Amino acid sequence: MFLTPHFLTGAAITKVVPNKPLAYTLAFFIHFLLDRIPHSDHFLSGISTGRKNKSFYQVVGPIVIDFFVGIALIIIAHFTFDNFALWPAIIGGMLGILPDFFNALSYFNYKKNYLLLFRGQPLYPVEEFATQTKNPYYRFHRFFHNKKVYNGILGTITQLAVIIIDLVVLLAL
């Protein structure tokens, strides 16, 4: 799932759950339940080409934009309607995307990809990492992930539905 729905869900949880430690915990763990919904994902295979290749930035660019869209929607909603606290929503949103950040760390740690990235060399392929890694966190995350990626209309509709529900919670409740 893209980052924006996870971010907005984490933020919405902080609005409806008054106990912030509980809300933050839920924001993190709801990520795994959202990944069970049929959805599209970013195409990650180009990242293994390394930072000196244009394909790397074609993968990283949309992910960075996705991250900032989530933050921007929270900020815009807060200043437009002013019916929820901004910082708890931002923290909840960050916790909502944290599982994916941990996945990225797992990939960059795989066979020391971080050194290859730093040197500008090609990284080990994402596909190899996904099938060969013994990383327990990654395997846990993948266990919850929907087994099929829907990069068509269904994947787009489900993510838009999550975004709309989250915005209704943030703006109307």
Q: For every one of its 173 residues, what pLDDT tens digit does the chain have, with 9 covering 90 and above?
A: 899 999 999 999 999 999 999 999 999 999 999 998 888 887 888 899 999 999 999 999 999 999 999 999 999 999 998 899 999 999 999 999 999 999 999 999 999 999 999 999 999 999 999 899 999 999 999 888 866 667 778 888 999 999 999 999 999 87
Q: Determine the Cα–Cα distance for residues 158 and 3; give it in Å rounded to an integer.
A: 13
pLDDT at 146: 67
pTM above 0.85, yes or no: yes
Q: Determine the Cα–Cα distance for residues 66 and 70; give it in Å rounded to an integer.
A: 6
Two structure tokens written together for 152: 């068509």
Give the closest residue to 38 by CA, choosing from 163, 154, 160.
Answer: 154
DSSP structure class, residue 146: -
Which CA distances in Å does 7 have to 45, 76, 114, 149, 152? 23, 14, 26, 19, 22
pLDDT in tens, 57-72: 999 999 999 999 999 9
pLDDT at 115: 96
DSSP structure class, residue 52: T
Task: Give the containing element (helix H, strand E) for 23.
Answer: helix 20-34
pLDDT at 137: 92
CA 44, 47, 49, 53 torsion-angle sign = positive
